[in-house]
Amino acid sequence: MTPDEWFRIKALIAERTDARWARGKPEAKYLGTSIYRCGRMRDKTGTGRLDPCGGPMSQRGGRYRCEVRQTRGRSVCEGSMTLAGRIDHAVGHAWIDHITALEPDAPVIAEIARRWIAFTDPETQAKKKETQRALEAAQKRVEKLEEDFYVYGKMDEGRFEELSEGQRAVIENATAMVESLASEGEPVLHPDALKEAWEGADMVDKRMLLKCALGAEGITVRPASRQGDPTPILERLEFDWL
């Protein structure tokens, strides 16, 4: 499922859903919540060694703030803080610049596509994992049967053939299912198509697209040197791009 297909489906569902009866988790309102990470240096181990805080940042009062500072106090982390509109705008442009600079056949694009499918079609992904587990379990059972028959002589040939045939049928069916699921769900994503998707996405999908292109460290926000620091915001950001 491509981003464009996903957006069309969401729009269709929204048109047919009565807001009075709609329920569910509230949509994220801000791009960087828990994606932005505090870059303030602090002693996390009690040994005197300073490392980036790494705590998630959340939006309050038009600014992103370090949650460690908010929940555990200034004595633990002095925190980072930045204007929400400023950083979100910069991150959006940085994402577009990063994606459009990639070659269409770059491994990163393939990984973004895989992650996109995992976000938008978790049922298919769960089915893939379940089928793969069934395939591997059947292969192990065949190995055990062959060991019992050829090495230890624990069963006669007729029983061995009967049990092996059943497991080979399972392997054949599971292999066909794995191949079918693999061919179904892999969209061909082009950097320009991803750019268009970003420009037309709501905040939930922008967060999804941003996460698809980032590693576990997210985006580290280094603190300003002082109030009113004129340093361009991008120079204070460290992106953990895939």
In 16-156, where does DSSP find H-type helix? Answer: 67-72, 84-100, 107-120, 122-146
- Residue 14: inside a domain: no
Burial of residue 197, with CB atoms counted within 10 A of its CB: 0-12 exposed, 13-18 middle, 19 or more buried? buried
Burial of residue 202, with CB atoms counted within 10 A of its CB: 0-12 exposed, 13-18 middle, 19 or more buried? middle
- pLDDT at residue 43 in the model: 92
Q: How far apart are CA 238 and CA 226, in angstroms?
A: 19
Domain count along the chain: 2
- Token pair in block for residue 114: 């895989």
Residue 240 carries which DSSP code?
A: E
Same domain, 38 and 77: yes
- Residue 204: inside a domain: no
Q: How far apart are CA 216 and CA 112, in angstroms?
A: 14
- Residue 11: inside a domain: no
- Residue 165: inside a domain: yes
* The total number of residues written for the chain in this structure: 242
Same domain, 97 and 57: yes
- Residue 84: inside a domain: yes
- Token pair in block for residue 168: 């080979």
- pLDDT at residue 19 in the model: 45
Containing structural domain, residue 153 = 122-185
Q: pLDDT below 50 — which residues of the chain? A: 9, 11-22
**Which strand (E) or helix (H) includes residue 210?**
helix 203-212
What three-state secondary structure class fits 214?
strand
Same domain, 95 and 138: no
Q: How far apart are CA 91 and CA 88, in angstroms?
A: 5
Same domain, 74 and 138: no
Same domain, 144 and 180: yes
pLDDT digits (tens, 9 = 90+) for 172-203: 998 988 888 776 655 667 888 888 888 888 89
- Token pair in block for residue 75: 């004595």
- Are the C-beta atoms of residues 76 and 58 closer than 8 Å to each other? no
